[in-house]
Copies of this chain bind each other. A is one copy, B any other.
Amino acid sequence: MARLKDVAKAAGVSIATVSNVLNGTKTTTPVVQRRVLEAITALGYQPNLHARSLRTGQSRTLGLVVPDLTNPYFPALVQAIETTARAAGYALIVMDAGNDAERETEALTLMASYRVAGVIWVPVGENHAPTWPFPVVTVDRAVPGCDTVVADHLQGGSLVAQHAIALGHRRVGLLSGPRSLASAALRRAGFLRAATGQLELAWEHEVPFSSELPPHVQVRLAEPGCSLVVCANDAVAVGVLRAARAAGLRVPDELSVIGFDDVPWSDFVDPALTTVRQPLAALGAVAVAMLHTRINQPALALQHQILPVELVARRSAGKAPAEPAPVPAARPGGQS
């Protein structure tokens, strides 16, 4: 490959001059500038970023560590990160932690070897934050010493509750996600807060983020005793859809279902899922923006951004069915 030296020789000029016109470090006379640029295109010169990084001590590479690329949540995030990173002049080294804390630290130390300018990190679980030799911004989970950008799960939960109320539901079942995950806990909290006084919690179960529902939940769904099931996840929403079908319950006529995440296929299942959309693209864009400013101004105060989510109403959640006179506890004087 052509080196700076070759360009210099071809342009009849010193190697430093080529470097200068290349990055506009010093002013140059137009004629020599033209000669240099011509030589560059003629030789198809591409700067050696290894050499540049070595010399300048900074690199134009960002790292990205995610727990599991096949999680439908991530592709859109990764895409947004890659696109905005490249637009800002960074390339992206991606590593998959395989949902394993050990492989995750492995990945992060590797990132150190590659001398990335910074990394965007979606932590796999609860974690120690050994301090890394590069700035880190975490996405979706807060980690003590790091900048963070998360979706507003709390708001998401309350949006669900509001929607349920607006549709006229009274008794709802709740399938909440692993309590140990901050995001799941926040969704639950937001939902419960906005539900108090308006919605009655028929039952609640804590389930993993999966469409394979545990047996006791399946039997519960055979006779839900509520008009709406609020799910931790689009995946568990699909599980509920299945269970409902198995029980002969028509969705949404007899039972409404609400998911969370708006994964790409939530519009493909039948009925299409009413769910809460996470601002994946914005999450990614903000993450690289934060990282970029942190790289340039390491001393800045820690940032913590919370991005708004959005309820997308589709067919899986409909109006509450006319109450089958459900044990009229309060008799306001009507005939019984």
A231 at the interface (CB under 8 A from B): no
Inter-chain contact A76/B70, CB cutoff 8 Å: yes
Quick one: closest B residue to A47, CB to CB?
B113
A83: B residues at CB distance < 8 A: 96, 98
Copies of this chain in its oligomeric complex? 2
Quick one: closest B residue to A74, CB to CB?
B75
Pairs A-B, 5 closest by C-beta atoms: A265-B265, A69-B79, A50-B53, A50-B50, A94-B94
Partner of A1, one of B68, B93, B133: B133
Inter-chain contact B95/A93, CB cutoff 8 Å: no
A91: B residues at CB distance < 8 A: 93, 95, 110, 114
25 contacts between A and B (CB under 8 A): A1-B112, A48-B113, A49-B115, A50-B50, A50-B54, A50-B59, A61-B114, A68-B79, A69-B79, A69-B82, A72-B264, A72-B265, A78-B94, A82-B96, A83-B96, A83-B98, A91-B93, A93-B93, A93-B94, A238-B268, A241-B270, A242-B270, A265-B268, A268-B269, A269-B269
What is the minimal beta-carbon distance from A85 to any residue of chain B, in angstroms?
10
Q: How far is the CA of A74 from the CA of B211 in the complex (A)?
A: 22
Inter-chain contact A54/B48, CB cutoff 8 Å: yes
A20 at the interface (CB under 8 A from B): no
A139 at the interface (CB under 8 A from B): no
A48: B residues at CB distance < 8 A: 54, 113, 115
Q: How far is the CA of A98 from the CA of B82 in the complex (A)?
A: 11
What is the minimal beta-carbon distance from A242 to any residue of chain B, in angstroms?
8
Q: How far is the CA of A265 from the CA of B268 in the complex (A)?
A: 9
A51 at the interface (CB under 8 A from B): yes
A9 at the interface (CB under 8 A from B): no
A170 at the interface (CB under 8 A from B): no
Inter-chain contact A86/B95, CB cutoff 8 Å: yes
Partner of A270, one of B75, B93, B110, B270: B270
Quick one: closest B residue to A94, CB to CB?
B94
- With contacts A1-B133, A51-B54, A70-B264 known, what are 4 further pairs, Cβ within 8 A? A48-B113, A50-B59, A68-B79, A245-B270
Quick one: closest B residue to A48, CB to CB?
B115
Inter-chain contact B69/A113, CB cutoff 8 Å: no
A46 at the interface (CB under 8 A from B): yes
A98: B residues at CB distance < 8 A: 83
Q: How far is the CA of A46 from the CA of B269 in the complex (A)?
A: 48
Quick one: closest B residue to A280, CB to CB?
B70
Inter-chain contact B92/A95, CB cutoff 8 Å: yes
Interface centre among A59, A79, A211 (most CB of B within 10 A): A79
A303: B residues at CB distance < 8 A: none
A198 at the interface (CB under 8 A from B): no
A61: B residues at CB distance < 8 A: 93, 114
Mask for A97-133, Cβ within 8 A of B = 1, else 0?
A: 0100000000101101111000000000000000001
Interface centre among A75, A211, A264 (most CB of B within 10 A): A75
A115: B residues at CB distance < 8 A: 48-50
Inter-chain contact B92/A94, CB cutoff 8 Å: yes
A96: B residues at CB distance < 8 A: 79, 82-83
What is the minimal beta-carbon distance from A290 to any residue of chain B, in angstroms?
20
Whether A112 contacts B70 in the complex (CB less than 8 A), given A92-B94, A95-B82, A95-B92, comes out as: no
